[in-house]
Chain A
Amino acid sequence: MPKPRTSDGITQPRLGPSGWLRWFWRQLTSMRTALLLLLLLAVAAVPGSLVPQRSSDPNGVTQYFRDNPDLAPILDNLQMFDVFTSAWFSAIYLLLFASLVGCVIPRTRHHLKALGQKPPKTPLRLNRMAGFIRKEHHGAETDARGAAGAAEQLLRKSGYRTVMFDEPATRGRPGAYSVSAERGYLRETGNLLFHIALLGVLVAVGVGGGFGFTGQRVVVEGQTMVNSLVSYDSFNPGRFFNDSSLKPFTLSVDTFDVTYQSDPNKGAYGQALDFDVKTTTRLPGEEPQSNRIKVNEPLSIGGTNVYLLGNGYAPTITVRDPSGRAVYREIIPFLPQDTNLTSTGIIKVPDGLADQLGMIGFFYPTPFELGTGALTSAYPDLKSPVLELRAYRGDLGINDGTPRSVYTLDTDGMTQIAGGKSGTDALRLGLGETVELPDGLGTISLDEVNRFASLDVHRDPAQGWVLLFAVLATAGMFAALLIPRRRVWVRATDGEGNTLQLEYAGLARGEDPQLAQAVADVARRHEAALDLEAPLDLEASPDFTSQRSTSSRTDVNSSP
Chain B
Amino acid sequence: MTETLSQYSAILLYCTMVVYAAAFVAFAIDLAQRSAAAGRPVAQSGAGEQLTAAQRRAAAQTTQTASGQAGGSGTVTTLDRPTVIDDDAEIARTRSGGVVIRVAMALTWLGFIAHLLATILRGVAAERVPWANMWEFSMTGTVLMVGVFLGVQFKLDLRFLGAFLIGLVLMLLGIASLQYYVDVVPLPPALQSYWLVIHVLVATLATGFFALGFALSGVQLMRTRYEESEDSPPTWLGFLKTLPAAVTLENLAYRLNVIGFILWTFTLIAGSIWAEAAWGRYWGWDTKEVWTFIIWVIYAGYIHARATRGWRGSRSAWLAIVGFSAVMFNFGIVNVFFKGLHAYSGL
Residues on A with beta carbons closer than 8 Å to the beta carbon of B290: 45-46, 48-49
With a cutoff of 8 Å between Cβ atoms, the chain B residues found around residue A127 in the complex are 65, 67, 80
- Asked if A275 meets B61 with Cβ closer than 8 Å, knowing A134-B79, A214-B280, A513-B251, the reply is no
Nearest B residue to A198, CB-CB: B300
Query: Do A545 and B82 have beta carbons less than 8 Å apart?
Result: yes
Q: Which of A261, A458, A543 has the most CB of B within 10 A?
A: A543
The smallest beta-carbon distance between A133 and chain B, in angstroms, is 7
Q: Are A296 and B76 in contact (CB under 8 A)?
A: no
CB of B276 within 8 Å of the partner chain: yes
- Which chain B residues lie closer than 8 Å to A266 at the CB level? 2, 185
Given contacts A35-B311, A458-B280, A533-B75, contact A477 B63 (CB under 8 A): no
CB–CB B286/A466 < 8 A = no
Residues of A within 8 A of B297 (CB): 38-39, 41-42, 45
* A549 within 8 A of partner (CB): yes
Question: Contact between A535 and B294 (Cβ–Cβ < 8 Å)?
Answer: no
A contact face: mostly helix, strand, loop, or mixed: mixed
Is B62 in the interface zone, CB < 8 Å from A?
Answer: yes
Interface centre among B82, B186, B319 (most CB of A within 10 A): B82
**Interface membership of B127, Cβ < 8 A:** no
Q: Which residue of A lies closest to B305 (CB)?
A: A35
Most chain-B CB neighbours within 10 Å: which of A56, A57, A294?
A56
- For chain A, the count of residues having a C-beta within 8 Å of the partner chain is 88
Of B36-44, B85-93, B98-106, B169-177, the one contacting chain A is B85-93
CA distance A548 to B301 in the complex (A): 19
Chain B: which residue is nearest A500 at the CB level? Answer: B75
Contact flag A536-B294 (CB < 8 Å), given A127-B65, A549-B61: no
Q: Which residue of A lies closest to B92 (CB)?
A: A542
Q: Which residue of A lies closest to B79 (CB)?
A: A537
Query: Which residues in window 304-318 of B have CB below 8 A to A?
Result: 304-312
Contacts of A478 in B (CB 8 A): 262
Q: Is the CB of B280 within 8 A of A305?
A: yes
> Shortest CB–CB separation between residue A93 and chain B, in angstroms?
10
In the complex, identify which listed stretch (B7-15, B187-195, B216-224, B233-241) lies at the interface while the others stay far away: B187-195
Interface residues of A (CB under 8 A from B): 31-32, 34-35, 38-39, 41-42, 45-46, 48-49, 52-53, 55-57, 60, 83-84, 127-140, 205, 214, 261, 266-268, 271-275, 294-298, 305, 307, 309, 456, 458, 460, 463, 466-467, 470-471, 473-474, 477-478, 481-482, 511, 513, 516, 532-533, 535-537, 540, 542-550, 553, 556-557
* Chain A to chain B contacts (Cβ below 8 Å), 28 pairs: A31-B304, A35-B304, A46-B290, A48-B290, A49-B287, A49-B334, A49-B338, A55-B285, A56-B284, A133-B80, A135-B75, A136-B75, A140-B75, A266-B2, A267-B185, A273-B189, A294-B189, A296-B189, A470-B272, A474-B266, A481-B261, A511-B255, A513-B255, A535-B79, A543-B81, A543-B82, A545-B63, A557-B309
19 extra interchain contacts, Cβ-Cβ under 8 A, other than A35-B311, A45-B297, A545-B82? A39-B301, A42-B298, A53-B285, A84-B285, A135-B79, A136-B77, A267-B184, A271-B185, A295-B189, A296-B189, A296-B192, A458-B280, A467-B269, A474-B266, A481-B258, A533-B76, A537-B79, A545-B86, A547-B86
